[in-house]
Amino acid sequence: MKLETDYLVVGAGASGMAFVDALIEQSSADVIMVDRRHRPGGHWHDAYPFVRLHQPAACYGVSSTDLGADRIDALGNNAGMYELSSAAQICSYFAEVMDRVLLPSGQVRFLPMSEYRLTEAGEHVVTSSLDGEEVEIIVRRKVVDATYIEPTIPSTHEPAFDIDPGAVVIPPNDLVKLRTSPAGFTVLGAGKTAMDTCTWLLENGVDQDSITWIRSRDVWSINRAWTQPLDLAESRARFNAAWLEAAAVSRTGTEMALKLEEMGIFLRLDRDVVPTAFRGATISETEVEGLRTIANVVRAGRVRRVRDGRVDLVDGSIDLPTDQVFVDCTASGLRTLDVRRVFEPDRITLQYVTPGFACWSAAILAVVEANVEDDATKEHLALPVVYTGDVDDLLSFTRDYLVSAQRRSEVADVRSWSGRTRLNPARGLRERLSDPQVAGPLDTAREWLAPAMKNIEERVGPAKDLV
């Protein structure tokens, strides 16, 4: 069997859905989407049940369809900020987008429960995981890889350490399945998954002294209060101004992080330890306050072996009471990837071109694809923004986003779409330009832009296009 299409999109997760939604709004292109899962939603189907978005739902998903109700939470760690959708809500949302927006458009077909492969002969073949039927896809324009930046998550990754018989090691997904109380909980990992897990344990009545937290390194997180849209958009204006000021006066990434902390934008868990990692996670101040109550923190490098009552680490070992539950939060989440060209003659590889917003990035790339003629120009507008995980790369990270954003602002169609899409994290600023609380910080940001770029290029060099 053969099918023909303009674009074959491999992956119906957040990036793939955002790309296709924007592409069919901007063009008459025909699209076939393929995914190994039964429904769209990608890694959200495998996420732990208590995970929520780190960013407001008001700016997540696809451009055409609202997620949530643009409500401000009144209770909990997110009180006073825009709502954060759960994994279940996100999966339901993407299914709704597929069923009510993409498929009814007549421009999109979806092949779920299927695997894609490129044969040695250059044929694009999709194989059903249910009946084994193979379909050859004739692609008139491009294959779109929407899986390249898919995160690594606890329930699907293989631990990079040995586990002895008798040691109970579970992903955070399985915490909700516990039926008997263990002697204690040992959380393995330093990132946002570990933070979410510790917060969930505390919120559900586990004594902080019953939690041991093994962190190979400490991380900087962004204060979520500074990244709010719509009625709270002045926070985003202040965020932009402060970020550019920090970039203008800092000699290193660590210096920039400390400056951002001084301004209230960056948060760390331990006031006595300067973090060395940054992966873009956002968190609330009340979450940080709760996490700081956990005193049993172990810093002895990565985990090498877990035994019942003992953990071997790179820089030593620790003894623990037996009958612990070890919660594996060591999956890398946002992966550090080799940067590759986004636009090639027969292929698009979706990557971050904005700082930490997968949906916005993917949709921007669709708008560029639909409105710009040649691949060289498209690539010039799509400089990848890479999270290396190392705070020392904060200056180059900032440079690449600023350069990429400036280039796109010079293309009228792309600039116009970016200004009106619900995916823009600065959503709401345009409508509030007459508000002094918005206009003032935006003026400040414009004043700091040139000094920031000058300082960054002096410290880490100019941005380089991929060739």
pLDDT value of residue 335: 64
CA distances from 321 to 155, 183, 217, 308, 318 (A): 25, 7, 24, 8, 10
Rounded CA separation 107/105 (Å): 5
Rounded CA separation 61/362 (Å): 10
pTM metric for this prediction: 0.96
State the span(s) of the chain assigned CATH 3.40.50.720.
2-151+334-409
162-218+268-328, CATH topology level: FAD/NAD(P)-binding domain (3.50.50)
The mean pLDDT of 115-136, rounded to a whole number, is: 96
Tell me the pLDDT tens digit for each residue of 46-91: 999 999 999 999 999 999 999 999 999 999 999 999 999 999 999 9
pLDDT value of residue 258: 98
* Mean pLDDT rounded to a whole number for the chain: 96
Right CATH for 2-151+334-409 from 1.20.900.10, 3.40.50.720, 3.40.50.2300, 3.30.70.940: 3.40.50.720
pLDDT at 333 over 80: no
The mean pLDDT of 329-342, rounded to a whole number, is: 80
pLDDT tier at 196 (50, 70, 90 boundaries)?
A: very high
Q: What is the share, in percent, of the chain residues with pLDDT greater than 90?
A: 93
pLDDT value of residue 157: 86
Tell me the pLDDT tens digit for each residue of 255-265: 999 999 999 99
pLDDT at 336 over 70: no
Q: Extract the tokens encoding 257.
A: 């992080």
pLDDT value of residue 337: 66
Closest CA to 219 of 282, 173, 160: 282
The mean pLDDT of 301-311, rounded to a whole number, is: 95
pLDDT tier at 467 (50, 70, 90 boundaries)?
A: low
Q: Extract the tokens encoding 283.
A: 């968190």
State the span(s) of the chain assigned CATH 3.50.50.60.
162-218+268-328
pLDDT value of residue 2: 96
pLDDT at 161 over 80: yes
